[in-house]
C-alpha cells in the first residue's frame, strides 16, 4: 500500500484524526499562564512547563492585557448561516423522508425559504 510508507498519511495513521483542529484550553490553564507570567517566568519556560505552544502563551498574555480577563469572549467562533428555525425545518424534512439526498434537501429548503 502506497500510503503505508508515509508516517503522516491519515489513512496510514487513523490516530491523526484526533489531532486535527484546535484543542480547547481550560480557563484554569489560562489563569496559570497569567500567574506564572506575573511571577516573572519567561514565556518559553511557561510553555514547556504547561506543555502548550509558546504562541498560545503569547496569545493568552496579549488577550489578558487587552481585556483583563481569561474568559472566552461571547460570540467567539464561526457564526451559523442558518437560523435555529431553518435547522429545525431541515431536520424535520429529513425525518419525514429519510431517503432524500443532501441535494434534494437543499432544493427543498430553497423552495421553502423563498
Q: What is the pLDDT of residues 36-95, one digit of tens each?
A: 999 999 999 999 999 999 999 999 999 999 999 988 777 767 888 888 888 888 888 888
**Sign of the CA dihedral 35, 41, 45, 49?**
negative
Q: Are the CB atoms for 90 and 80 separated by under 8 Å?
A: no
User: Is 0.85 surpassed by the pTM of this model?
Assistant: no
Backbone angles phi, psi at 53, to 5 degrees: -70, 150
- Residue 11's pLDDT band, with cuts at 50, 70 and 90, is very low
Find cell 474568559 and name the residue.
Answer: 71
Angle (nearest 5°) at CA 51 between 28 and 54? 95
Amino acid at each position: 500500500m502506497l500510503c503505508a510508507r508515509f508516517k503522516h498519511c491519515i489513512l496510514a495513521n487513523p490516530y491523526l484524526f484526533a489531532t486535527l483542529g484546535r484543542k480547547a484550553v481550560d480557563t484554569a490553564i489560562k489563569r496559570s499562564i497569567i500567574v506564572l507570567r506575573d511571577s516573572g517566568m519567561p514565556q518559553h519556560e511557561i510553555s514547556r512547563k504547561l506543555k502548550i505552544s509558546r504562541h498560545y502563551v503569547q496569545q493568552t498574555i496579549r488577550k489578558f492585557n487587552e481585556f483583563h480577563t481569561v474568559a472566552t469572549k461571547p460570540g467567539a467562533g464561526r457564526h451559523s448561516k442558518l437560523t435555529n428555525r431553518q435547522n429545525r425545518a431541515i431536520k424535520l424534512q429529513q425525518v419525514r423522508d429519510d431517503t432524500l439526498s443532501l441535494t434534494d434537501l437543499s432544493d427543498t429548503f430553497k423552495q421553502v425559504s423563498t
